[in-house]
Structure 1
C-alpha cells in the first residue's frame, strides 16, 4: 500500500480540535496576508491557542504549510491513482507521465508559494514526505513500463527535480510561461 497524504496515528479529540483551529487560522492568515504573513506566533494568536500548542503540532512553518496543502495533495493523489485517464489509469504510460508532469506544473502555479515554504523550511522536507515517495513511486512505475531497461529510480528523481517549488518560482520569475515549462519537461 502506498502512503497517502494525511494518514497517520489517531489523535486525541482535544488535540484534533487544536490542530483544526491552528490550520484554519493559518489558512485565514495566508488568505489575508499571503504566505509571507505565515508566522507561528500570529497563527497561535489567531487560533486562540498558546504558541507551545502550535509548536507541538507544527515545529516550523514548513510543517504548517504541509498541513495547509494536505487537501490539495489528497486530490492530486486521487487523480493520478484512480481518476480518469490520461492522469489516472487507463491511458498508456507515456500519456500518464505527461499528464502527471502537466498536473504537477498546474499545482505549482496555484500553490507554488506554499509548496516552497513546505519544501524549504525544514531541511530535506521535500524528500521525506509520503507525498514525494508516492510521486516518485508512481513515476518509477510509469518509466519502468515505458522503458523496462531504464534506471527508473534515477529518472523519476531527475523528472521531479525541476518540479521543486523554488525552481519553478525562479523559472516563472525569469519570464518562463507555464506552457514553456511544460514543454521543457516533456522534452526532458
Structure 2
C-alpha cells in the first residue's frame, strides 16, 4: 500500500501492535493505581515489551500521558469546532467562550491529573502542543468577534492560564468546587 502524500510515514504493523499494547497497559495502570504509577519501566513490563520500545515512542511520562489523552482531546476539539451550540457554532461568541471554559473545566475534573503530567513533565509542553495552539486560536477568534477592540491574543492566554492542569488540581485539592471555578470564569467574563 502506498502512503498518501502528506500523511507522514506509515507505521509498521509490529510498531502499531506495540503502541496499542503500551497504551492499553498505561491506561490500565492509571485506572487501577493512579497517575502516579505512570512509570515507563512499569508500563513496559505490563505491556510485555522492552523498556527501549517504550522510550523510543514515548521519551518521557509527559509524551505517554499526551498519547493517553489523545482520543479525549479529539472529542473535545470536535465538540467546539462542529458540535451543537453553545460550545459549537451557532451561538453568540460570548456564549461560546463561556461554554468552552466550562467544558474545559469539566474535562479537567475527569482528566486533570493526567493532563498535569502531560503539561509539566517536559518544560513548556503545555504551550507547544497542537492542542494548546488550537484552544488559543479558537478563543482568539471568538474574542475578536465578541470584542474587536481588545488584544484577543492576550485575553486568550489570560483565560487559558487558570486552565493549566496543575492550577486546577491545586484548587480542587484545596477545597474549591467545580461550581466555584466555573463561577470564577463567569466573573472573569463579565
For Structure 1 versus Structure 2, the TM-score category normalised by the shorter chain is over 0.9
Structure 1 segments, 4+ long, off by >3 Å, are 7-10
Structure 2 CA distance for aligned equivalents of residues 88 and 62 of structure 1: 29
Structure showing greater relative contact order (alpha-carbon pairs closer than 8 Å, 6 or more residues apart): 1
Aligned CA-pair RMSD: 1.1
- Aligned residue for 2:181? 181
- CA deviation profile, 1:56-111 (whole Å, cap 9, x unmatched): 00000000000111111011000000000000000000000000000000000000
Per-residue deviation, 1:32: 1.1
Is residue 38 of structure 1 aligned with residue 38 of structure 2?
yes
Instruction: Find the structure with the greater CA-based Rg.
Output: 2
- Aligned residue for 1:55? 55
Is residue 108 of structure 1 aligned with residue 108 of structure 2?
yes
Per-residue deviation, 1:9: 4.7
Q: TM-score, normalised by structure 1?
A: 0.94
Secondary structure at the counterpart of residue 148 of structure 1: coil
Unaligned runs of 5+ in 1: 1-6
For 1:8-47, list aligned pairs within 5 A. Answer: 9-47=9-47
Number of equivalenced pairs: 182
Structure 1 CA distance for aligned equivalents of residues 9 and 155 of structure 2: 33
- Aligned residue for 2:76? 76
Secondary structure at the counterpart of residue 149 of structure 1: coil
Per-residue deviation, 1:17: 1.3
Q: TM-score, normalised by structure 2?
A: 0.93
